[in-house]
Amino acid sequence: MSLAWADQLDLLIRSRTPILWIRSLEEERVERLLEAAAQRLGGRTLLRWDFIDGLGGAPNRQGEAARNPMAALSCIDAMAPEQGAILLLRDFHRYCDDVGICRRLRNLATSLRQVPHTLVISAPDWQLPRELEDCISVLELPLPDAAEIGQLLSAIASAGGTPLAEEILSQLTAACHGLSEQRVRQLAARALARHGQLGIGDLAEVLEEKRQAIAQSDLLEYCPSSASTADMGGLAALKQWLAQRHMAFSEEAQRFGLPLPRGVLLVGPQGTGKSLTAKAIAHSWAMPLLRLDVGRLFAGLVGASEARTRDMIQRAEAMAPCVLWIDEIDKGFGGDSRSDGGTSQRVLASLLTWMAEKTSAVFVVATANGVERLPGELLRKGRFDEIFLLELPSTAERKAILDLQLRRRRPAHAIPLEVLADRTIGFSGAELEQTVIEAMHLAFAERRDFGEADLIAAASQLVPLSRTAKEQLDVLHQWASGGRARPASGPDCAE
């Protein structure tokens, strides 16, 4: 645990903060940290209470107040004022909607300032009743840092009879970054049960544990991808920029003084390769790809959306280094915030604050089909490292995309593409792919291979988005013409 967090905890207790909420899922870790704080602060008594087992930590009162939350709050009254005490209440947030318990907590918030006693409530999420907002201080417990994880793994390996070499310990510690202490213990236990020791071969098990942590949440989707930047037709300027940003994740770049990249916003019509780019970044950088559907963040209860956003951020950081793909961000935050009581604005603010201040290796790739609905704070400089406009491909890019699609299906094809490239002006990359597929259908129906004539015939039957949604594209081009975004294709590809 970082010294700053321990110092903050000590300060809150020493300053007679009456009620403290430690936001965390890790009950055992919270208890251990409170035990250490109690010793540092002159040997204070640590009591524990939960609904099933009642009071613990006081030999003469073991089991007191079991199944009685109101009585649990009276346990600390019996402690002598000259002997400072800390009472840890587990799951107590579930009982605070009761009017009696809420009133008792408000009374304690006043009386406990006169004695060196502190109530600590351990809970992962809690929508504080309005009456308790000024009575309770909140302290967020971060996931274990590298020092904690290293000490834990080293202790487990030594207890198993095979101490870890420094290099292996360093790699396992880095891989376990973002996991809770309990999950690290489970990983180590499985490794010891499987082959009697911890080793470098457990790295794959760590990644699988992280995947399972993502699968347990309905907020993020783990997206395996085999796409690479070679599968992106054109987009030369974007590819060059991504190559530079990838280098910034190296230790050499950190020593040079470069900060970790924040992310990129990709704006453009449907079918221009925004989703493919997100997948290619993750595969090319050898990072897991996590897809966020913004709509999943919003829940019906007041405050639940903000809690889900914090949960999403924690889970993304647990997979770091990774790529977080926020798909169609314009649909999630492009509405009128007055219609949802400002929830979308608060969620967006939390997300943008995290993006600007994060120190974890989470690279955010946000995609948007339109800009007219994007909030201004999302487009402000500094939110993303860069904003790229993915326009409809130029003639040269259309030839490259068509050749790429054909070689996937006919690696040795010799079909001329000049005429087809001229006949497909205004086609997106997805529409060019569909042209190739349609040509194959035409030829397969006649039990023959396809050629240039089939491709031209297929192109003539397809009505591209540039015609059906011309007004939307005009708005996008007008917005980009003011220098608000960099062209992904570069100046050499302009038609």
Predicted pLDDT at 341:
66
Task: Report the alpha-carbon distance of residue 403 to residue 230 in Å, rounded.
Answer: 12
Predicted pLDDT at 248:
92
Task: Report the alpha-carbon distance of residue 188 to residue 124 in Å, rounded.
Answer: 24
Query: Residue 124, Cα to own-chain centre: how many angstroms?
Result: 17
Task: Report the alpha-carbon distance of residue 406 to residue 394 in Å, rounded.
Answer: 18
% of the chain surpassing 70 pLDDT: 96
> Which sequence spans correspond to the domains of the chain?
3-140, 146-216, 247-389, 395-462
Predicted pLDDT at 485:
85
Q: What is the pLDDT of residues 452-490, one digit of tens each?
A: 999 999 999 998 988 888 888 888 888 877 777 888 886
Length of the chain: 495
Interval 214-243 mean pLDDT: 85
Interval 224-228 mean pLDDT: 81
* Region of poorest pLDDT, from 49-58, 170-179, 238-247: 170-179
**How sure is the predictor about 338, in pLDDT bands with cuts at 50, 70 and 90?**
low
Predicted pLDDT at 3:
66
Q: Does residue 299 register a pLDDT over 80?
A: no
Interval 377-400 mean pLDDT: 88
Interval 316-325 mean pLDDT: 87
CB neighbour list of residue 380: distance below 8 Å, 6 or more residues apart? none
* Coil, strand or helix at 321: coil
Mean per-residue pLDDT over the chain, rounded:
88
Q: What is the pLDDT of residues 287-296, one digit of tens each?
A: 889 999 888 8
Top pLDDT among 263 and 307 is at 263
Predicted pLDDT at 337:
56
Q: Does residue 83 register a pLDDT over 90?
A: no
Fold for 3-140, please state it.
Rossmann fold (3.40.50)
Predicted pLDDT at 439:
94
Cα→Cα distances 467→425, 473, 474, Å: 11, 9, 11
Say if 3-140 and 247-389 have the same CATH topology.
yes
Interval 438-448 mean pLDDT: 94
Q: Give the bridge partners for 71, in sequence order.
A: none
Predicted pLDDT at 24:
92
Q: Does residue 271 register a pLDDT over 90?
A: no
DSSP conformation class of 163: P
Top pLDDT among 282 and 304 is at 282
Cα→Cα distances 314→7, 78, 309, Å: 23, 39, 9
Q: For residue 98, which of 61, 59, 68, 138 has the smallest C-alpha distance?
A: 68
Predicted pLDDT at 437:
95
Q: What is the DSSP string of 250-281?
A: SHHHHHHTPPPP-EEEEE--TTSSHHHHHHHH
Buried b / exposed e over 260-281, threshold 16 CB at 10 Å, is: bbbbbbbbbbebbbbbbbbbbb
**How sure is the predictor about 491, in pLDDT bands with cuts at 50, 70 and 90?**
low
Predicted pLDDT at 493:
52
Long-range contacts of 203-207 (CB under 8 A, 24+ apart): 203/171, 203/172, 203/175, 206/172, 206/175, 206/176, 206/179, 207/175, 207/288
Whether domain 395-462 has CATH 3.90.320.10: the reply is no
Token pair belonging to 28: 């055992």
Q: Give the bridge partners for 120, in sequence order.
A: 20, 88
Q: Does residue 244 register a pLDDT over 90?
A: yes
**Beta pairing, strands 386-389 & 486-487:** parallel
* Region of poorest pLDDT, from 29-38, 215-224, 261-270: 215-224
Task: Locate all alpha helices (DSSP H) within 339-451, ordered by sequence.
Answer: 343-357, 376-379, 395-409, 418-423, 429-445
Predicted pLDDT at 306:
84
Place of tokens 């590809």: 493
Interval 237-257 mean pLDDT: 91
* Region of poorest pLDDT, from 90-104, 345-359, 427-441, 475-489: 475-489
Buried b / exposed e over 369-391, threshold 16 CB at 10 Å, is: bbbeebbeebbeeebbbbbbbbb
Write down the pTM of the prediction: 0.73
Fold for 247-389, please state it.
Rossmann fold (3.40.50)
Predicted pLDDT at 314:
83
Interval 33-42 mean pLDDT: 95
Interval 406-429 mean pLDDT: 92
Residue 223's identity, in one-letter code, is C
Query: Residue 67, Cα to own-chain centre: how many angstroms?
Result: 37
Interval 359-381 mean pLDDT: 85
Predicted pLDDT at 222:
86
- Alpha-carbon Rg for the chain, nearest whole angstrom, is 29
Please say whether the beta carbons of 183 and 213 come within 8 A. Answer: yes
Q: What is the pLDDT of residues 95-124, one digit of tens each?
A: 999 999 999 999 999 999 999 999 999 998
Interval 202-218 mean pLDDT: 78
Q: Does residue 335 register a pLDDT over 70?
A: no
**How sure is the predictor about 346, in pLDDT bands with cuts at 50, 70 and 90?**
confident
